[in-house]
Amino acid sequence: MSKSSFVCLAAVTVAAAYNIDARQVSGVSVGTSAGPQPTQTSFSFTLATTNPTAIPLASIVSNAATQATHTLATTYAPGSIPTVVSGAPPLPNAALLAPSNYPALDKVVPTDSPEVQQWIKDVANSGVTIPDFAPTVDSGACGSNAAAVADTTRCWWTCTGCVTATDITTCPNKLTWGFTYDDGPSPYTEDLLQFLDQNNLKTTFFAVGSRVISFPNILQTEYMGGHQIGVHTWSHPPLTTLTNDQIIGELGWSKKVIKDVLGVTPLHFRPPFGDIDNRVRAIAQAMGLTPVIWTRISPQATFDTDDFDLHSGLTTASHVLQNWNYISGNASIIDTGFILLEHDLFQQSVDIATGYILPDALLHQPPFKIVPVIECQNKPLSDAYLELNDNSSNPLPSGSVPSSSANAAGSSTGSTGSGGSGSSKGSAAVATAGLPGLGAVFALALAILAGTTLLMS
């Protein structure tokens, strides 16, 4: 999600001029209030088409339950062999995952577990030098961290737009869209998956590890359907605010839960809020994760739809569609492809994507080539995963993936409940290790309940 500042849009006049099926509709006024207004902000946008089943824009508002959630149309039996990526191992049994073997939902992970302690040693042994910067303060707000912003050796993307050679922020080929959704899995992901399936689109899902524990079957359906899966941390904190050990724990647990659910380990991650500096980059490199941010052509033109803020009412559907128009306009004229920020955590974000943004994008002229990030880098889907990566054509960054790390991340006691190698039991794991049946099922039910009520960040 974006942490860029927003303008409060209460009581403004919204002039939405949009073009549906070549029929110009203009001057539609939403939320007009009488009398003089201190701020007059109007939004305009043009769409080539909209989805006939789109939720009306006026209904895509804060906390509106615009439609019932849908259960997964397609699920995969344990042991299914992925057909979309060659050489992949059979699918683990998600029903056997014990949430008590993992850290808590949406909370920064503790660093005293044996797993995190092992990953800390692995990072220390990786040969990658971690810069000695103090964590940022105040959730990484730029204004509260003037010295860190000014320190160019930090290369802090959030506040300065600084990137390094390893950051993926665009796609090399013009008009190619490295397509991404963040913050799921969620109860609304299925609506997005349905639309993507109907339109033969594949995306990259940057999954929040603790939400994978709530909805493992959704992650499996994404992966089996040929979408790319990447890491979006365990609990979605701004990473520059964390200690080295916390960053290691956040990335390590996310890699582990995805490996436990899918059988493969992602090689890409998106920093929450795009909050990355050279300390976070070095730790990620040592853990075998390449950062994927989003396209930024100037401080004023960042490819962020701001769809995340619909849920809270901090923005409006019209504003998001105007953002989309600017993004697609700029995407049409820059010399490279592009990556933009969208989310599948909230119903409003999914509704605006499936009802408006994606139908418009599919008719864009000249056409966009819409593909997962790995494919926009002209690499096969298999190169998105450690175990399937073609190491001869796509060598991993030096220092990354020390052997014991691959081992720790690769053990999967969580999916079997059996204790396995003994190297990956969380501090809370002992309680259920002997009761993988009812205890695990009950804990999973609790996590699902918690997942549906606590999904926010």
Ligand X SMILES: *[C@@H]1O[C@H](CO)[C@@H](O)[C@H](O)[C@H]1NC(C)=O
63-71, 179-187, 385-393, 441-449 -> range binding ligand X (CB under 6 A): 385-393
Q: Is the distance from CB of 188 to CB of 182 less than 8 angstroms? A: no
- Residue 151 near which of Zn ion, ligand X, none (CB within 5-8 Å, type-dependent): none
Q: Which of 122, 182, 306, 360 is catalytic?
A: 182
DSSP state of 365: S
Within 8 A by CB and 6+ apart from 358, the residues are 51, 195, 199, 201
CB of 402 to ligand X, least distance (A): 10
Q: Is 227 a catalytic residue?
A: no
Q: Are strands 14-20 and 23-30 parallel, antiparallel or unpaired?
A: antiparallel
Nearest Cα neighbor of 320 from 297, 353, 293, 345 is 353
Q: Residue 275 and residue 293: Cα distance in Å, rounded?
A: 9
In the complex with ligand X, the residue whose CB is nearer, 165 or 333, is 333
The residue within the footprint of ligand X, chosen from 326, 379, 416, 457 (CB under 6 A), is 326
- Residue 272 near which of Zn ion, ligand X, none (CB within 5-8 Å, type-dependent): Zn ion
- Residue 183 near which of ligand X, Zn ion, none (CB within 5-8 Å, type-dependent): Zn ion
The residue within the footprint of ligand X, chosen from 125, 387, 399, 450 (CB under 6 A), is 387
Q: Is the distance from CB of 267 to CB of 410 less than 8 angstroms? A: no
How many whole angstroms from its chain centre is CA 266?
12
Q: Is 343 a catalytic residue?
A: yes
In the complex with Zn ion, the residue whose CB is nearer, 183 or 375, is 183
The residue within the footprint of ligand X, chosen from 330, 407, 427, 457 (CB under 6 A), is 330
Within 8 A by CB and 6+ apart from 322, the residues are 43, 44, 45
For the chain, the distance separating the N- and C-terminal CA atoms, rounded to the nearest angstrom, is: 9
Q: Which of 122, 245, 343, 344 is catalytic?
A: 343
Using only C-alpha atoms, the chain has a radius of gyration, in whole angstroms, of: 22
- Residue 284-303 contact track with ligand X, rule CB under 6 A, x = bound: ----------------xx--
Within 8 A by CB and 6+ apart from 224, the residues are 74, 76, 80, 82, 84, 91
User: Tell me, what amino acid is at 154?
Assistant: R
- Residue 387 near which of ligand X, Zn ion, none (CB within 5-8 Å, type-dependent): ligand X
- Residue 94 near which of Zn ion, ligand X, none (CB within 5-8 Å, type-dependent): none
In the complex with ligand X, the residue whose CB is nearer, 376 or 401, is 401
CB of 387 to Zn ion, least distance (A): 26
Using CB under 5 A, list all residues that contact Zn ion.
1, 182-183, 272
Query: Does 318 contact ligand X by CB under 6 A?
Result: no
Active site residues: 182, 343
Under the rule (CB under 6 A), what is the footprint of ligand X? 300-301, 326, 329-330, 333, 386-391, 401, 406
